[in-house]
Structure 1
Amino acid sequence: MQAVRRCGAVDWRLTAAFIGGVVFAVVLGLGFDGLTPNEPVGATDRARLEVGAAEQLSQSGTGPLSPDDLAIDDGADGTPGGGGDAPDDLLPGRQTRGRWTPAREAIDPRLQALLDREADGALDSVAKASGGKAGRSDCLVSFLAVDLESGAVVASRAPDRSMAPASNLKLVTTLSALHVLGPDWRFRTPVEAAGPLNAGVLGGDLVVRAGGDPLFRDGDPDYARGRLAQLAGSLAEAGLRRVDGALVLDLGSFAPVGPAPGWPTSSASWTGSYGYVAGLTANAGLVDIAFEALAGGRTQTTIAPSPTGLREESNVASTSQTVNDVQIGLYDSSGRLVLKGELGPPGRSFERDIRHPNPPALFAALFLRALADRGIDVRDGFREARGVAPGRELAALETPWIDLITPINQDSVNPVADAVFLAMGGATSGQWTREAARSAVAGALTDLGIDPRGLHQVGGSGLSRDNRISPRMVVELLRAALAQPPSVRQRFLDSLAVAGQSGTLEDRMGGTAASGRLRGKTGFIQGASALSGYVETLGGRQLVFSIVVEYPRLGGLNNSVWKPMHDSIGAHLAQWSP
């Protein structure tokens, strides 16, 4: 899953011990699955982090894969399933009423043997990789591969098993959102006056209504600050100069901030991968912290976005020695962020993102600063509320949701996926709840011709262990995506990572036949590992596939066993010919 921020070449390993009521977490430069439930974050040195006790083959042949290569003709009227269906030779598994049926079985014995060999080899290596803590009988490897031209299942292994898909669930979230919201839907965050506005003075509260916008742009933690500055500017242009009340954040039907059901229990729960979705937030509730060692014993520390609303204490020293002993302490109960330790030699840098313990407070801190910068004084600070009576709208922020599809699928940013998931509930029923979102997704799948009963979805990101879907259903979803109108199909395909080139696949399968030809979505939480997507073979055939693994929740196995297996299977698929 994600919020991956690469910080070095070697993965981190987390160990922890309870000392005096505080969890001291030591991060070591060792090969490991990493702190975050997705692709690993790396560091070349050790770093110590303190967490408050209150926290809970070579390429040849045809050119690389492009989205156009995967196109399937649309219905005559350009709508999914409308007018005329796509040609039978391209959509052989689809019935005229629009429901996808399992592709016909035509297993290729050569490909099946190759993929089974990779799966069996990985299973046989578990005992050694786990130090004897697990064996092949404790693990399950499932996969399905379908040739799009013939509609034939060319390789299959337990494809109907309902499994935790980790971040492969984001494929369900984004394709459903494209169907439910359409590419033009926007998050909307209105600001209202709860009282009379006379001569620039608001005699009451300034109310911001939660619209679920994560205010996120990948790689730009200050994006939210800029957007809120624009909003404050609009209020100033509307004549607002003073608020004789509070900034009130109306969180509406959004659930209280916190973990979703089934989230992994982890001593890394302070990291960005565990960012909380909220009705009002900024930078998807993530805070980026960067350190750079300078000469003279000084270290430059940059926190973005800022202000955070946290009590920040920073004392990281620079040293001439080669060391990364940076400590990050996040204390939920008191709202403290403590940074200390050593970093060196001068010129060495270190970066990490963490989750904010209360994203609405982060939004409030940034917006209050933006208002102050425009000369707008808010007398009573901020407070959170629900069900505030409607007031007069003064300004609003609008953000296209479609701008988030690439951070979700290519970079696997969890709280952004959860925000889009909730948006489907809000858009269809006015309720920004998981229940409403699940209903919207079920409707989308039904419209796409996929039986939603095979899906159990807790959130949008795949972080929950309670999510369930089969590899066959993932393949059906990916096949259905290709039958969508060009604007929908293209945005979906463009959002996926490409082997050896981009996103969470940038550093994988390079130099193999899959490089530039495999386009897909990765997934990992401890105990589950997945890779699903599309492959253009060296001979120009198009395959759709899904691989999902269940295994004991032991560290190290994803990097040492399952990811290499995924990559080998991807290379075999790219070399397949009928």
Structure 2
Amino acid sequence: MDAPTLSRRFVLAGLLTSAASCSLAEAPERSLRPVAKPTGSNGQARHSTAAEALINAAKLDGKMGFVVADARSGQVLEAHNPLLPLPPASTAKAITALYAMERLGPGFRFSTDVIATGPVSGGVVQGDIVLSGTGDPTLDTNKLAELAARMRQAGVSGATGRLRIYEGALPHLRTIDPEQPDHVGYSPGISGLNLNYNRVHFEWKRAGSGYSVAMDARSDKYRPTVRTARMDVANRSMPVYTYEQRGGVDRWTVASKALGKGGSRWLPVRNPGAYAGEVFQALAAAQGVRVELGDPVARRPDGKVLARVLSDELSTVMRDMLKWSTNLTAEVVGMTASARGGRVPRSLRDSAGDMSRWLSARVGTNKARFVDHSGLGDASEISCREMVEALTTLAPKLGLRSLLKPIPMRNSAGKVLDGHPLQIVAKTGTLNFVSALAGYVRAPDGTDLAFSMFMADEPRRRRLSKAERERPEGGAAWNKRAKNLQLRLIERWAALYTG
């Protein structure tokens, strides 16, 4: 296993604990058996009372819709509110993956470069050194250290100018969704230069009557401290965190009564370019290349590229995004795909509008309206019919199915039912009082179904204050019932339409 893979997994394991996980749903433990396929006079199955009974038994307030279709022909077999637009949550990432794979191609790679604005003489750049990004959402501290080492191997030991950054390949956005609490790591800033999923590691330890704290950009190999994010411990119980931006620095406070003996968590970075530049300066200094930080540059310079690191191919980046549900990856890839059309988007909403129009042109949608590429913003909407249309027409051409995550069947206690006959691959989606699942299920006889299910109690979600949105009362129980319903419906469909 190579170092970049280790690094990526290390960062993902530490950073993405809040990503949507596979269902802990209740599922029948009986074997599948073939039953007759009910169809209407037009050959399309109607919503049955059996499915309605499952929906009623779940006792989910709000609205829901589902569509299940033959994955090969696209024929709809059963539906409930198929054209009702509902929030897709993170299943929107499946549409983003299709959008990016078509616009950019599966072999596309992001690059991060070190550029000299002048000639190199005696190891010294006669001008500035510019750290230039194209938005790579997977760039981590290990990769940045590799870039610094390659710069040194190119014979560079310093510069007459300064170290500057270029992050203008994408717009600089301070957060993905302004409605999220300030401290949640799944809504960080975005720019054309991103590092560690734009999260900084905060660690605290008891020290005498107080605490020692550290903010760093750690990986499994390095632990560079940062000054672009700072933490003060405040003598209070609530709120746990406060945030403000002052002097270009993310300034946090944390309640001492919430810290206990020690611990750590990842916090969002609001100035991604400055964060990456500071860490690169430290890693370059460790290689013997010492250069002062200067102001960012507005345009990518035309100078000599001294060193470069590349991301994995887009197909791999998309597989990881769909597995770990990384919001930053979705937004960066989506905006990069939009920019491939010749115009850099001004905002997430601007870029998501491009994706909405693209989907409409490809599958004839008229309900889908996206406000971002990750599904974090609950103003995004799509119908189950449109999602299934994308899964049965676009996805086979673009290889989406092979990128989706396996979803195991589980019993009511959350235990995986080993040897269960159904093979499910799908994208999950979870927001407060919103649950979604979209993908494919294959039965032992080869029956292949595509499905989407969206469930949302939007009035209850709207009543939440910003502070309640990390762990709302009743949210976990609602989500468990929703996930349970999803698996019950899948197993029912597989039994109903096999044989």
Would you say 1:565 and 2:479 are equivalent positions? no
Aligned to 2:468: none
* Displacement after TM superposition at 1:474 (Å): 0.7
Matched letter for residue 425 of structure 2 = R
Deviation, 1:311, is 4.9
**Separation of aligned partners in 1, 2:215 and 2:131:** 28
Q: Please give the alpha-carbon distance, in whole angstroms, between the structure 2 residues aligned to 1:214 and 1:342.
A: 35
Residue 360 of structure 2 contacts residue 366 of structure 2 at CA under 8 Å; is this kept in 1? no
Check if 1:387 corresponds to 2:299.
Answer: yes
**Given residue 144 of structure 1, which amino acid in structure 2 is its aligned partner?**
V
Residue matched to 2:491: 574
Answer whether contact 1:293 1:343 (CA < 8 A) is retained.
no
Deviates more, 1:366-375 or 1:182-191: 182-191
Residue in 2 that maps onto 1:202: 125
Indicate the SS of the match to 1:521: strand
Are the structure 2 counterparts of residues 229 and 37 from structure 1 closer, same or farther at C-alpha, using a change threshold of 3 Å? closer
Indicate yes or no: 2:452 matched with 1:534. no
> Tell me, what secondary structure is at the counterpart of 1:352?
strand
2:185 alignment partner in structure 1: 272
Please tell me whether the aligned partners of residues 408 and 416 of structure 1 are also in contact (alpha carbons under 8 angstroms). Answer: yes
Give distance in 2, aligned partners of 1:270 and 1:539: 48
Q: 1:449-501, CA deviations, whole angstroms, 9 ceiling, x for partnerless residues?
A: 412544322221111233221111111111125522xxx52x64343242359
What SS does structure 2 have at the residue aligned with 1:141? strand
| Alignment correspondent of 1:117 | 53
- The CA deviation string for residues 320-352 of structure 1, in whole angstroms up to 9 with x for no partner, is xxxx99955544334234567479998xx7543
Partners in 2 of 1:236 and 1:294 — Cα distance?
Answer: 39
| Matching residue of 1:461 | 374
Q: Number of paired residues? A: 448
SS of 1:387 mapped into structure 2: coil
Give, in angstroms, the shift of residue 519 of structure 1. Answer: 2.1
Determine the C-alpha separation between the residues in 2 that align with 1:358 and 1:311.
9
Counterpart in 1 of 2:251?
A: 336
Which amino acid in 2 is paired with 1:577? L
Match of 2:227 among 303, 309, 313: 309
Q: What per-residue deviation string (whole Å, max 9, x for no partner) do you get for residues 517-561 of structure 1? A: 332122223353312222234665222111112322154454323
Partner of 1:478: 391
2:29 corresponds, among 58, 68, 71, to 58
Please say if 1:396 is aligned against 2:308. yes
- Quick one: distance in 2 between partners of 1:480 and 1:150? 9
Work out the CA distance in 2 between the residues paired with 1:500 and 1:308: 44
2:241/2:253 contact within 8 Å kept: yes
In the aligned structure 2, how far is the partner of 1:483 from the partner of 1:195? 48
Measure the CA separation in 1 of the matches of 2:496 and 2:409.
Answer: 22
Distance 1:375 1:166 in 2: 46
Q: Which of residues 55, 59, 83 is equivalent to 1:160?
A: 83
1:278 is paired with a residue whose SS is coil
- 1:496 is matched with which residue: 405, 408, 413? 405
2:164 is aligned with 1:248: yes
Equivalences for 1:500-539 in 2 at 5 Å? 510-511=416-417, 517-526=423-432, 528-537=434-443
5+ residue gaps in structure 1? 8-34, 41-56, 63-103, 127-138, 217-223, 317-323
CA distance in 1, matches of 2:209, 2:406: 43
CA distance in 2, matches of 1:166, 1:461: 7
- Render the CA deviation track for 1:47-101: whole Å, top value 9, x for unaligned: xxxxxxxxxx226469xxxxxxxxxxxxxxxxxxxxxxxxxxxxxxxxxxxxxxx
Cα 1:351/1:452, change in 2 over 3 Å: farther
2: CA distance between counterparts of 1:105 and 1:514? 30
Corresponding residue for 2:4? none
Q: Which has the higher contact order (CA 8 A, sep 6+)?
A: 2
Q: 2:3 is matched with which residue?
A: none
User: For 2:308 and 2:93, how far apart are their aligned partners in 1?
Assistant: 29
Residue 307 of structure 1 aligns to a residue in which SS? coil
Q: Unpaired segments of 5 or more residues in structure 2?
A: 1-10, 23-27, 34-41, 219-223, 465-471
Partner of residue 172, structure 1: 95
Instruction: Determine if contact 1:425/1:432 at 8 Å carries over to the other structure.
Output: yes
Does 1:548 find its partner at 2:454?
A: yes
Name the CA distance, whole Å, in 2 between partners of 1:300 and 1:255.
Answer: 32
Contact 1:458 1:466 in 2 (8 A): yes
Q: Distance in 1 between matches of 2:439 and 2:392?
A: 10
Give % identity. Answer: 21
The answer to whether the Cα contact below 8 Å between 2:355 and 2:370 also exists between their aligned partners in 1 is no
- Cα distance in 2 for partners of 1:278, 1:452 equals 30
- Tell me the CA shift for residue 404 of structure 1: 2.1
The equivalent position to 2:45 in structure 1, one of 72, 95, 107, is 107
What amino acid sits opposite 1:270 in the alignment? H
Shift of residue 375 of structure 1?
0.8
* Worse-matched range after superposition: 507-516 or 300-309: 507-516
- Report the Cα offset of residue 4 of structure 1: 9.2
Distance in 1 between residues matched to 2:72 and 2:229, nearest whole Å: 59
Q: Residues 558 and 408 (structure 1 numbering): CA distance in 2 closer, same or farther, change over 3 Å? A: farther
Separation in 2 of the partners of 1:240 and 1:4?
Answer: 32
| Structure 1 residues 389 and 483: CA distance shift in structure 2, 3 A | closer
Quote the Cα distance in structure 1 between the aligned partners of 2:305 and 2:441.
49
Instruction: Work out whether residues 86 and 383 of structure 2, in 8 Å CA contact, stay in contact via their aligned partners in 1.
Output: yes
| Structure 1 residue 145 displacement after superposition | 1.3
- Asked if the contact 1:328/1:339 (under 8 Å) is kept, the reply is yes
- In the alignment, what sits opposite 2:469? none
SS in 1 for 2:496: coil
Is residue 2:275 matched to residue 1:362? Answer: yes
Deviation readout 1:288-323 (Å, 9 max, x if unpaired): 44568899999897844333333545779xxxxxxx
Displacement, 1:370? 1.2
Identify which of 221, 226, 230 aligns with 2:142: 226
Name the CA shift for 1:456/1:514 in 2 (closer, same or farther; >3 Å): farther
Residues 172 and 189 in structure 2, CA contact (< 8 A), matched pair in contact too: no
CA-atom RMSD in angstroms: 3.9
Deviates more, 1:283-292 or 1:173-182: 283-292
The answer to whether residue 345 in structure 2 is matched with residue 439 in structure 1 is no
Separation in 2 of the partners of 1:326 and 1:436? 34
Q: Aligned letter for 1:359?
A: P
Q: Distance in 2 between matches of 1:427 and 1:372?
A: 36
